[in-house]
């Protein structure tokens, strides 16, 4: 669920604030690993993302996670300006790898804690 500033408010899934809610509960999709029983995990992220966007296009309740600027410094500036927890930087040429990998790196704002409004979907 998102507030009027389009910040994700995960805590509202348990206790919504009816006066502040701007959206119904939404499913934010990060990746598409399988479709029609076909394993897509070996495809590059850019191809999986394109297929994901095609699949959910027009859905009012399922959305792909918003992309930030492709330049790391610009993306980080967006994170700081939005008050987000951080971002996940991904190599768009990478195939899917389970577990930790250097191709997908989560970067958090130092000292960030739950600031009562949740974190913004990136």
Q: pTM to 2 decimals? A: 0.74
Q: Measure the CA angle with vertex 62, ends 22 and 100; round to 5°.
A: 110
Rounded CA separation 9/21 (Å): 9
Q: How far is the C-alpha of 72 from the C-alpha of 20, rounded, in Å?
A: 32
The tokens for 34 are 């399988």
* pLDDT tens track for 9-60: 777 878 888 888 888 888 989 899 999 999 999 999 999 999 999 999 999 9
Q: What is the pLDDT of residue 101?
A: 84
- Across 6-10, 50-54, 60-64, 71-75, least confident range: 6-10
């Amino acid at each position: 669920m998102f507030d009027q500033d389009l910040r994700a408010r995960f805590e509202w899934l348990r206790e919504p604030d009816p006066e502040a809610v701007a959206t119904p509960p939404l499913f934010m999709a990060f990746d598409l690993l399988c479709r029609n029983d076909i394993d897509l995990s070996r495809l590059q992220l850019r191809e999986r993302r394109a297929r994901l966007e095609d699949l959910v296009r027009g859905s009012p309740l399922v959305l792909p996670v918003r992309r930030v600027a492709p330049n790391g410094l610009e993306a980080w500036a967006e994170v700081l300006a939005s008050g987000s927890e951080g971002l996940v930087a991904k190599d768009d040429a990478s195939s899917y790898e389970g577990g930790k990998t250097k191709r997908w790196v989560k970067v958090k704002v130092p000292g960030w804690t739950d600031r009562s409004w949740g974190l913004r979907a990136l």
